[in-house]
Structure 1
Amino acid sequence: MHVLRLLLLALLSLAHVACLSQGTTLRVKDLGKLQGWRDNVLVGTGIVTGLAGTGDSPGNRATRQALSNVLSQFNLTVPPEQVNSRNVAVVMVSAALPAFAREGDTLDVTVASSGDARSLVGGNLLLTPLRAPDGRIYALAQGALSVGGHRYDANGNVVQKNHPTAAAIPNGATVEVGMPPSAQARSHVTFVLAEPDYTTANRVAAAINSQVGAGLARARDAAGIEIEVPAALQSEPVGFLARLENVAVEPDRRARVVINERTGTVVSGGDVRLSRVAISHGDLKITIANLNSVSQPAWIGRTGPGVATAVVTNTEIGVEELTGVGFLAGSGTVADLVQSLARMKTSTRDIISILRAVKAAGALHGELVVQ
């Protein structure tokens, strides 16, 4: 029975090592995108109405002028000087136009106050044109605002949650002008990696040549792979691009450790190597305690000048220095180090300091990213 248990443990260990030795196979579409596929930024200026006295102040000239312009479109002539309302706010409206947007598609809209409004809760955005950098109108936005916060004040007391001056309108914009189709007839396309890497680019080109067609792909640099579209498929490239997206490839991975000092987060690949290094991390702990005792006169019943009960304070100061020393072999990894420090109940802040010191000593063989 003992022999069978040892054999089972050995088989499990071999299976674990085999899984670690195998890399992660991904599709090409998960590593990047074709050159030219990008979102287009749209922006516009609009008016939010229906606010319960939390809009822009009456002294805001931009709000008065904007509201006067809107009323003039409905044959109402109101000079800006006569506009006096706190139920209106001037806002900036933005959205992202996808690469394959068509007429009639809807977009999510972000609305942010540009004046001195206190809250946009309960507001409604009037029809607002959204323009691209070329000045052309591509979408129209309108609808009720969804605010993820609130702000209420009375008699000098203020209760606020999140940012009530920013809001969103899901599917609040309608595309009026669609983007031209990107899959037009072409002889070459360029695939761009999300994380440039020469090894990954070479592997992607080799995988395309072996799984789609020999000599079609060539890695130009660490980010771009130029792919030739066969002449028979240039008029209808969708099927060919679909095959390219599903090509399986094993990407390379950089040795990288990411540290966020604000949140105390450490994220590292399990295979980031460490050279042989000795680590000594000390912590000085100082304890100060005040002990109060009562001092009585020699004769309790004795009275007279200067004879009274006195309170005496004694201060005790304790200094304790806690030091942990660890040695890492040449085959150690950052994961081994973090696990060892965690077992020693080392705080995350101390782990971050130790990793930065190890990197400065030249023993951490990877990129240390501090956020």
Structure 2
Amino acid sequence: MMRLTTVVFAALLALMVSAQLPSVGLVPPSDEPTGPLVRIKDIARLRGVRSNQLMNVGVVVGLEGTGDSRNSPGAQTAIANMVKEFGISLDLSQLNLKNVALVLVTAELPPFARPGNRIDVTVSSIGDAKSLQGGFLIQTPLYPAGDKSRAYAVAMGPISIGGFNVQQGGSKVQKNHVNVGTIPSGAIVERGVDTQYEFNGRFVLELMDPDFTTAERIAGAINEQLPDLGAVAMDGGGVEVFSREGIIVDPVSVLARIESVEVIPDTPAVIVINERTGTIVVGGNVKIAPAMVAHGGLTVRINQYNEVIQPLPFSGGDTALQQNTEVVGKEDRVSIGVVNPNATIEDLAKVFRTLKVSPTTLIAILQDLRAQGSIKARIIIR
């Protein structure tokens, strides 16, 4: 068995340079918004139009010995109940099925979904399964919260986990998180949700990411590009749209015109970190103050291997198996990266390439830079 432990040292030093900047010749910032033009339909939705979450407990089969153990009998009980419907009786006390796992199945039912449409499914292990790699989700009905009278979708299919988990001879190699997977288009909608919205001469657009600046820009764009309509920002999360003629005869046509209007949204500085996959996404408007990053690592490897011990000739002893342990330590050289004034995301990426850090270490450095104050952005961890 091999166990890898990485001890990371990160030293962060802020460099104060604002006092050295010249106070003359500065160009005042422009009031004109900058950024890409996007359609209103991509950043706002009609009030009353929303998605609904579906879930249930299911069983994954076909695992290669990486399923739930007897310490988590839920999957085996579910299998016994399922095969009983086909006239097969199983004794739970004699079951030891390592190729099945009990999972939580979740999905999101979009608005205006019709029976026959397909939606994506997420599958998460509940018991002590080591991996869902290669598994197949048995047919599982999905219900909304608080209503199990009728299934709104039925999920089934092979699971994709985006990683692997290999064990052999006491050694283990794992990439990404292997206990959560997805089934693209893995559920068939059996029942749609009635979407209700009102058109009494006016309606409300709700921003997907509430922001006062973006709401004001949406209202201004509608007033400018659609003269027969009027719009006013109610707050950071909603824009009220009304007909200047007092009535909306064809609401679908009006909404289609509004959705096509383009605006420049005001995007906040955000860094998104997905610890399951090691993915890090940094927005282009993230501001970086001067800083120094020092990174060094101590790696400790513990190797265990078996050795066969033979008895002496004519001693009457038995052959024995002895387990040996070898501990190897290695300390890497400390790498230092400097973030200069007026640095961009590209400059920060160059520093990280110089440090040659792993995704796990990079996540820790970004969090420390945010805590120290060098990165002016909100960090979202998924």
TM-score bracket relative to the smaller structure: 0.5 to 0.7
Relative distance call for 1:347 and 1:266 in structure 2 (3 A) is: farther
Greater Cα offset, 223-232 or 115-124: 223-232
1:219 aligned onto 2:233: yes
Structure 1: segments with no counterpart, 5+ residues: 1-18, 284-323, 327-332, 361-365
Match in the other structure for 1:76: 88
TM alignment of 1:292-331, pairs within 5 A: none
Q: CA deviation at 1:71?
A: 1.6
Relative distance call for 1:118 and 1:217 in structure 2 (3 A) is: same
CA deviation map 1:100-124 (0-9, x unaligned): 2110011111112211222223322
Which of 44, 47, 57 is matched with 1:35 structurally? 47
1:233 aligned onto 2:248: yes
Q: How far apart are the structure 1 equivalents of 2:92 and 2:113? A: 39
Q: CA deviation at 1:368?
A: 4.9
Relative distance call for 1:154 and 1:196 in structure 2 (3 A) is: closer
Q: How far apart are the structure 2 equivalents of 1:31 and 1:70? A: 44
Letter in 2 for 1:86: K
Relative distance call for 1:160 and 1:241 in structure 2 (3 A) is: same
Q: How far apart are the structure 1 equivalents of 2:63 and 2:105? A: 17
Is contact 1:105–1:175 with CA below 8 Å preserved after alignment?
yes
Match in the other structure for 2:123: 111
Match in the other structure for 1:92: 104
1:129 aligned onto 2:148: no
Is contact 1:108–1:168 with CA below 8 Å preserved after alignment?
yes
Match in the other structure for 2:184: 170
Q: CA deviation at 1:172?
A: 1.1
TM-score by length of 2: 0.61
**1:140 aligned counterpart, secondary structure:** strand
Relative distance call for 1:64 and 1:28 in structure 2 (3 A) is: closer
Greater Cα offset, 216-225 or 80-89: 80-89
Letter in 2 for 1:198: F
Q: How far apart are the structure 1 equivalents of 2:208 and 2:92? A: 51
Is contact 2:288–2:376 with CA below 8 Å preserved after alignment?
no
Q: How far apart are the structure 1 equivalents of 2:270 and 2:105? A: 38
Is contact 1:183–1:238 with CA below 8 Å preserved after alignment?
no
Larger Rg: 1
Match in the other structure for 1:143: 157
Letter in 2 for 1:176: E
Q: How far apart are the structure 1 equivalents of 2:162 and 2:367? A: 34
TM-score by length of 1: 0.62
Match in the other structure for 1:190: 204
Q: How far apart are the structure 2 equivalents of 1:133 and 1:103? A: 19
Match in the other structure for 2:302: none
Greater fraction helix: 1
Letter in 2 for 1:245: E
**1:75 aligned counterpart, secondary structure:** coil
Q: How far apart are the structure 1 equivalents of 2:221 and 2:285? A: 25
Relative distance call for 1:81 and 1:33 in structure 2 (3 A) is: same
Greater Cα offset, 157-166 or 45-54: 157-166
Q: How far apart are the structure 1 equivalents of 2:78 and 2:236? A: 50
Is contact 1:63–1:90 with CA below 8 Å preserved after alignment?
yes
TM alignment of 1:196-275, pairs within 5 A: 196-213=210-227, 216-228=230-242, 233-234=248-249, 236-251=250-265, 269=285
Letter in 1 for 2:193: M
**1:191 aligned counterpart, secondary structure:** strand
Q: How far apart are the structure 2 equivalents of 1:202 and 1:128? A: 45
Relative distance call for 1:21 and 1:124 in structure 2 (3 A) is: closer
Match in the other structure for 1:48: 60
**1:164 aligned counterpart, secondary structure:** coil
- How many residue pairs end up in the alignment? 291
Letter in 1 for 2:115: E
Is contact 1:268–1:335 with CA below 8 Å preserved after alignment?
no
CA deviation map 1:211-238 (0-9, x unaligned): 224563222112211112566534x411
Relative distance call for 1:273 and 1:76 in structure 2 (3 A) is: closer
Relative distance call for 1:119 and 1:258 in structure 2 (3 A) is: closer
Is contact 2:271–2:379 with CA below 8 Å preserved after alignment?
yes
Match in the other structure for 1:363: none
Is contact 2:271–2:280 with CA below 8 Å preserved after alignment?
no
CA deviation map 1:158-198 (0-9, x unaligned): 23332333222221110011122456655432112344343
Letter in 2 for 1:216: G
Match in the other structure for 1:3: none
Match in the other structure for 1:10: none
Q: How far apart are the structure 2 equivalents of 1:122 and 1:111? A: 13
Q: How far apart are the structure 2 equivalents of 1:94 and 1:157? A: 33
Greater Cα offset, 116-125 or 169-178: 116-125
Q: CA deviation at 1:130?
A: 0.9
Greater Cα offset, 96-105 or 183-192: 183-192
Q: How far apart are the structure 1 equivalents of 2:193 and 2:52? A: 9
Q: CA deviation at 1:67?
A: 1.5
Higher relative contact order (CA 8 A, sep 6+): 2
Match in the other structure for 1:294: none
